[in-house]
Chain A
Amino acid sequence: MSTPEDILRLKQLKETEPIQQAWDDWVSTREALRETTLLLDDPDLRSMASEDHEMLLQSLTEIVKTTFPTILVPPSRTEHMSALMELKSGVGGSEASLFLGDMLRMYLRAAQISRWKANIVSSNNLDTGGVKDAVVEFKGPGAYDALQWESGVHRVQRVPATEQSGRVHTSTVAVVVLPLIEESEAQKEELYSMDDVKVEVMRSRGAGGQHVNKTESAVRLTHIPSGITVAMQDERSQHQNKRRAFSILASRLMEAKLTREMEARRASRRNLVKSADRSDKIRTYNYAQERVTDHRIGLSVKNLTSVMEGEAIQDILSALRRDYEESQMEDLLAE
């Protein structure tokens, strides 16, 4: 008969099997590499040995770069979460709005590739072709994990389509990515209680009800303990505005919770930080040089077109993710 302690120990043993396996692989591969290196000095065996040497080196590198990180990095707290992305045009007027439209297309294509379900919740489309602001849901596991580092100011340097003199302009788009929280999840995470939320609805100045048939149904929520307010008027009914407002409140509270947890764990200075300074430029898209540079990890990608097509952006997202995971491992070591 197994006791609960036995079962727990068995579970732990089972969980550490992959680590044991990986470590054994590492030790045996390293040993084999050492032996092969010795053989390189022998002129008769050198050619054969160098082939083996190459292969073993590759295996070793693979174990270090891929297998260990996958096992050692703790599973993401948010790996199942979907994402809520808000894009707002910043500096640059209509050109910023045009670029926002381009970014929107980029993310929608990236979503297709990653098999997330993208849903444009609201968008302010200008008649001149740009998008002034937009809110998009990306539904699917891993969406938040992948997109969370897109929060910040994206800067574009290019000659606007409308520009006659061929002068390069710099415009910006501000992006905020929040976790998209289902109602059941909001309750489970204990993000808020209804008693703490003040709900204000649009009231007409005089009598309401049958006296007026205006379409204004704005709602404002105030989460009293945190002071977070959410105002929503994009939808045509009070009920819809309330629902969206509560959803955004849950997202903001979850983001705040995650940031607190991240801050608490942070030991390494090198960590990717989600800047509280909303004006931090995280990435520059330079059309003349066909290059996209992410300033946080110093990564430059030479194929801007591929980025905007939603493909090469994946490389940037993966690099950001890897950087974050590496710093998580550093935290682990520092503990």
Chain B
Amino acid sequence: MTLSTLVSQLGKRQFALEYQWMKRAVSPILPLREMLERRVAGEPLQYILGEQPFGPLSIKLRSPVLIPRPETEDWAIRLAERLASRPHTRPLSMLDLGTGTGCIPLLICSLLPPGSVQATGIDISEEAVKLATENAALCSPSGNTFRAVRASFLDPLFPHPNLGVHPPFDIVTSNPPYISWHEYTQLSRSVTDYEDPRALFGGPDGLDFYHAIAALATGKRSKSRKYFDRLLK
């Protein structure tokens, strides 16, 4: 019953693919029956399987932390390749805004030579920071460092001195929330029911976070320049 429902939900081809992946992931704590039932209920496969390949890494996942997207994988790899192609005389400092699972900085750390990157990821979500920290331990970026810190970059006072986040940075990355209110209401339930709205909703026009990033990057954030250097070198 569950199987045929799933086949009609996903289509034959997609079902065949997902079924193989599920069978490979079967374990004593995750039986096939449970996976199928959760999938029929609409839960994203990535959360059921608990991990997602991202470049050469396997990123641990847990609802509601945002599932890494293939577009992000694509540009993060390109960025790493571009960075790797130039020689650097000292380690690069990197800040990832809204780090979620930590996938972006962890990917870059794993693709660059040891000792060439020191990365920090910030996220407003406690669950994200916890998950990103777990991923950092799992991926062990071989001589490059990554740590996750809880903060909101919409906060006008970001970065607070006690965060340990010290601008300026060589690289600032972000896959910020960019979905507008109107678009959010049209999203499929596999997104809205399971992924953190804070990771998706970017304000009425979806651009709130882009404004924040632009302001941080150009130092136009605060009247008091004492607290804000330019975020970028």
Q: Which residues of A contact B (CB under 8 A)?
A: 122-125, 201, 207-217, 233-240
State whether A212 touches B188 (Cβ < 8 A): yes
With known contacts A210-B178, A217-B70, A124–B53 Cβ distance under 8 A: no
Output the least CB separation between B124 and chain A (Å). 16
**B21, A236: Cβ atoms under 8 Å?**
yes
Which residues on the A side are within 8 Å of B16 (C-beta)? 124
* A122 and B20 alpha carbons, distance in the complex (Å): 9
Q: Is the CB of A211 within 8 A of B20?
A: no
Residues of A within 8 A of B159 (CB): none
Query: Which of B44-52, B148-156, B164-172 sits within the interface?
Result: B44-52
Chain A contact surface mostly = loop
Residues on the A chain within 8 Å of B17, using CB: 215, 233-234
- Among B18, B23, B195, point to the contact of A215 (Cβ < 8 A): B18
Determine which of B23, B45, B54, B71 lies in contact with A209 in the assembled complex, contact meaning CB atoms within 8 Å.
B71
Closest residue on chain A to residue B202 by CB atoms: A210
- Contacts A211-B183, A216-B14: A125 and B70 contacting too (C-beta < 8 A)? no
B192 to chain A, nearest CB (A): 10
Q: How far is the CB of B13 from chain A (nearest CB, A)?
A: 8
27 inter-chain pairs at a CB distance below 8 angstroms, sorted by A residue, are A122-B20, A124-B20, A210-B66, A210-B69, A210-B178, A210-B179, A210-B191, A210-B199, A210-B200, A211-B191, A213-B44, A213-B46, A213-B67, A213-B191, A213-B195, A214-B190, A215-B18, A234-B17, A235-B53, A237-B52, A237-B54, A237-B55, A237-B70, A238-B74, A239-B53, A239-B56, A239-B73
| Cα A311 to Cα B69 with chains together (Å) | 47
Kindly list chain B residues whose C-beta atoms are within 8 Å of the C-beta of A124: 16, 20
B76 to chain A, nearest CB (A): 10
B65-104 vs A, Cβ < 8 Å mask (1 yes, 0 no) = 0110111111001000000000000000000000000000
Which of the four size classes fits the interface of chain B? 35 or more
**CA separation between A208 and B72, bound complex, in Å?**
11
A239–B70 CA distance with the chains assembled, in angstroms: 8
In the complex, B177 has a CB within 8 A of chain A: yes
Contact of A237 among B45, B53, B178, B200 (CB under 8 A): B53
A202 to B, closest residue via Cβ: B70
List the A side residues contacting B70 at CB < 8 Å: 201, 217, 237-238
Which residues in A have their C-beta under 8 angstroms from that of B41?
none
- Which residues on A sit within 8 Å (CB–CB) of B45? 215
Of listed A201, A208, A236, residue having the most chain B CB within 10 A: A236
Q: Is B187 an interface residue (CB 8 A)?
A: yes
Cα distance A211–B190 when bound, in Å? 10
Q: List the A residue with the shortest CB-CB distance to B195.
A: A213
Q: Which A residues are CB-close (under 8 A) to B191?
A: 210-213
Bound CA–CA A210/B44 (angstroms)? 13
Would you call A239 and B44 a contact (CB within 8 A)? Answer: no
What chain B residues lie within 8 Å of A215 (beta carbons)?
14, 17-18, 21, 44-46
Q: Mark B192-216, 1 if CB is under 8 A from A, else 0.
A: 0011000110000000000000000
6 nearest CB pairs, A to B: A237-B53, A238-B70, A213-B44, A213-B67, A209-B71, A217-B70
A207 to B180, CA, bound (A): 12
Please indicate which of the listed interface residues A213, A236, A238, A240 has the most CB atoms of chain B within 10 Å of its own CB. A213
Q: Verify A209–B53 contact, CB threshold 8 A.
A: no
Assembled-state Cα–Cα distance A125/B67 (Å): 28
Q: For B56, give the chain A residue with the smallest CB separation.
A: A239
Q: Which of B173-190 contact A (CB under 8 A)?
A: 175, 177-179, 183, 187-188, 190
**Residues in chain B near residue A237, CB distance under 8 A:** 52-55, 70, 73
Report which of A123, A210, A233, A240 forms a contact with B177, defined as CB distance below 8 A.
Answer: A210
**In the complex, A122→B71 CA distance in Å?**
25
- C-alpha gap A235/B53 in the complex (Å): 9
How far does the alpha carbon of A238 sit from the alpha carbon of B72 in the complex, in Å? 11
C-alpha gap A234/B73 in the complex (Å): 17
A216-B14, A237-B52 as given contacts; A211 in contact with B179, CB under 8 Å: yes
A123 to B, closest residue via Cβ: B20
Q: How far is the CB of B72 from chain A (nearest CB, A)?
A: 8
- In the assembled complex, the CB of B96 is this many whole angstroms from the nearest CB of chain A, namely 16
Which single residue of chain B is at the shortest CB-CB distance from A124? B20
Q: Which residues of A contact B14 (CB under 8 A)?
A: 215-216
Closest chain B CB from A277 CB (angstroms): 28
